[in-house]
């Protein structure tokens, strides 16, 4: 039987920015509950909920101080239970964000661990002596600087691959692993639909050998996790794996290996950064390379023994139409094109809140407007190194994580209908033109394109199981492919650019399934308009 998550469409909610119910400017669980009917109308099957656990908020909830408590800013555990229940009534599952590579430095384990070297929790984390009075080695944090933080009390360094307030857990300690599995089972018993696993490729780390991702114990740990937690349940598990190749992705998701359902892979995320440099060192997107990578993951991953995730945006990744498309003149058709391209591919699609109405990046003019710790650290570090301030702000406006985190735009009312108070992060100034209310009132809006794409996946097995076949005789910046299942054949065509492009197909089509312009009745020697995309059934 086909697992439910192969036919599903997942919707990611960033709770802090989705819907505030009490006027404190911060989204919360009761607010999400009030919007479940909207999500049911869209047609999604599950909500991936970014962390709502108790947290000091250094990294917006990805620094957890108590895995079995809800942060008061989001509500209570009763609210969480109610969300699970109310979502279930609408046939929507809740996917919890699982952050187990690291904790907050305010987690009870770390508070104890740093007291002295003999503490029973000491080995829950990774500690090393100084080397020649300095850090043990050159491992770097993803949030700038060394991955080692000196602790004056015990005169040792602890490892943190992210902020210094996010100490890495020691997965080689079997007690730590068992505690994590107990916590996971606590949530499974509550009736959740699965886990999204934050930076899961790091748990097999070997810091003494400078190994971060894909350590030798990574897959044995995941197999143990599967066996002790979700392995006997019909749950979705998706791992965040920035360094996965198709072969590595198969290792994670081959059912015979008893690990995960699928992974998020990010190979296309480096296409607008200079080779060998960081994400902040920008270069123009090469759409031909983007096409190649999309096709690579459709053709090199063995879908008989593995599975793929499909996404453009998430809480860490800016709005795709601003980044790789045109969020001004062609915002609507561009957003529809990106949706059509992705949702007709092989794999499980993920929608980030606001993507379905075409929300855009939200530029800043001053670093004081920025909340994201990664962006702030980069700015200060590079400013000290002599970089130009305007160039740094430009990089933040293109790639900064705040772009995805601005409040959901529900209406043209004050603060876009997100809150009656002062929003924790600025609302994008274009909310009066781009909002849910406007989209729902317009039958030709981006929202209804997403709704249609979800319906197509739910009701057509060809979208789930059909073979992918690239049409190679096209302009390099046109992505055209067939999905084929038995005697069924669908054609998907997309112009990835803002220029008119020629396209030629000698086959006749029966009907148009979804489009963002009126599709010509004959596909021979046509001119595709900027960002034009369509899906048709072939006779």
Distance CA 127, CA 156 (A): 6
Distance CA 295, CA 303 (A): 13
Structural contact between residues 342 and 311, judged by C-beta atoms closer than 8 angstroms: yes
What 3-state class would DSSP assign to 430? helix
Annotated catalytic residue: which of 71, 201, 240, 259? 240
Neighbours of 252 (CB within 10 A): 26
DSSP designation for 417: G
Token output for 187: 């949530």
Distance CA 495, CA 290 (A): 13
Annotated catalytic residue: which of 20, 28, 198, 402? 198
Distance CA 151, CA 57 (A): 21
* 490 CB-near residues (< 8 Å, 6+ apart): 344, 462, 466, 482, 483, 484, 513, 535, 536, 537, 538
Distance CA 13, CA 29 (A): 11
User: Is residue 538 exposed (0-12), middle (13-18) or buried (19+ Cβ within 10 Å)?
Assistant: middle
| Inter-axis angle of helices 218-228 and 246-253, nearest 10 | 30
Q: In the sheet where 156-159 sits, what is the strand order?
A: 127-128, 156-159, 148-151
Distance CA 272, CA 196 (A): 26
3-state secondary structure 382-393: HHHCCCCHHHHH
Our answer to whether residue 240 is catalytic in this structure is yes
Which residue reads 């994590």 in tokens? 180
What 3-state class would DSSP assign to 67? strand
Token output for 425: 């992060």
Rg over CA atoms, the chain:
23
Beta strands 262-265 and 148-151, pairing class: unpaired
Question: Where would I find the beta strands (DSSP E) of 347-391?
Answer: 348-352
* 128 CB-near residues (< 8 Å, 6+ apart): 136, 148, 156, 157, 159, 207, 208
Structural contact between residues 141 and 162, judged by C-beta atoms closer than 8 angstroms: yes
Beta strands 533-538 and 509-515, pairing class: antiparallel
- 183 φ, ψ (degrees, to nearest 5): -65, -40
DSSP per-residue codes, 16-32: GGT--SSSSSS--HHHH
3-state secondary structure 152-186: CCCCEEEECCCCCCCCEECCCCHHHHHHHHHHHHH
∠ CA 180-111-81, nearest 5°, is 45
Q: Provide the annotated active-site residues.
A: 198, 240
């Amino acid at each position: 039987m086909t697992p439910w998550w192969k036919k599903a469409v997942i919707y990611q909610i960033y709770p802090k920015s989705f819907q505030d119910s009490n006027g404190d400017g911060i989204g919360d669980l009761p607010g999400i509950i009030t919007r479940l009917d909207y999500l049911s109308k869209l047609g999604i099957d599950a909500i991936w909920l970014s962390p709502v656990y108790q947290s000091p908020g250094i990294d917006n909830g990805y620094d957890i101080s108590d895995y079995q408590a809800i942060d008061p800013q989001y509500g209570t555990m009763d609210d969480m239970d109610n969300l699970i229940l109310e979502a279930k009534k609408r046939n929507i599952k809740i996917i919890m964000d699982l952050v187990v590579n690291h904790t907050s430095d305010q987690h009870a384990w770390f508070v104890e661990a740093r007291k002295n070297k003999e503490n029973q929790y000491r080995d829950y984390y990774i500690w090393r002596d100084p080397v020649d009075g300095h850090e043990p080695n050159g491992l770097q944090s993803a949030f700038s600087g060394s991955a080692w933080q000196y602790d004056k009390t015990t005169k040792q360094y602890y490892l943190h691959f992210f902020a210094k307030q996010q100490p890495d857990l020691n997965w080689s300690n079997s007690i730590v692993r068992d505690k994590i599995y107990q916590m996971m089972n606590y949530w499974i018993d509550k009736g959740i639909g699965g886990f999204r696993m934050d930076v899961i490729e790091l748990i097999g780390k070997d810091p003494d050998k400078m190994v971060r991702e894909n350590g030798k114990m990574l897959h044995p740990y995941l197999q143990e996790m599967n066996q002790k937690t979700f392995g006997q349940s019909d749950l979705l598990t998706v791992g965040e794996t920035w360094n996965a190749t198709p072969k590595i992705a198969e290792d994670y998701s081959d059912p015979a290996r008893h690990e995960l359902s699928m992974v998020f892979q990010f190979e296309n995320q480096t296409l607008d950064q200079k080779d060998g440099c960081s994400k902040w060192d920008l270069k123009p997107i090469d759409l031909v390379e983007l096409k190649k990578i999309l096709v690579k993951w459709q053709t090199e991953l063995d879908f008989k023994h593995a599975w793929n995730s499909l996404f453009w945006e998430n809480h860490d990744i800016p709005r795709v139409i601003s980044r790789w498309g045109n969020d001004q003149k062609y915002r609507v058709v561009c957003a529809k094109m990106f949706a059509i391209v992705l949702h007709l591919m092989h794999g499980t699609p993920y929608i980030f809140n606001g993507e379905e109405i075409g929300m855009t990046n939200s530029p800043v003019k001053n670093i004081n407007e920025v909340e994201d710790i990664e962006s702030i650290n980069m700015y200060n570090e590079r400013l000290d190194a002599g970089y130009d301030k305007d160039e740094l702000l430009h990089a933040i406006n293109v790639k900064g994580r705040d772009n995805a985190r601005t409040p959901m735009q529900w209406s043209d009312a004050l603060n876009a209908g997100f809150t009656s108070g002062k929003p924790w992060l600025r609302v994008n100034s274009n909310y009066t033109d781009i909002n849910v209310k406007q989209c729902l009132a317009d039958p030709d809006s981006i929202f209804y394109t997403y709704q249609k794409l979800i319906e197509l996946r739910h009701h057509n097995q060809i979208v789930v199981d059909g073979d992918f076949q690239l049409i190679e005789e096209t302009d390099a910046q046109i992505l055209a492919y067939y999905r084929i299942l038995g005697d069924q054949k669908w054609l998907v065509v997309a112009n990835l650019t803002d220029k008119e492009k020629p396209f030629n197909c000698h086959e006749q089509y029966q009907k148009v399934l979804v489009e963002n312009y009126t599709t010509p009745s004959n596909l021979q020697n046509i001119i595709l308009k900027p960002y034009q995309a369509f899906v048709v059934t072939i006779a």
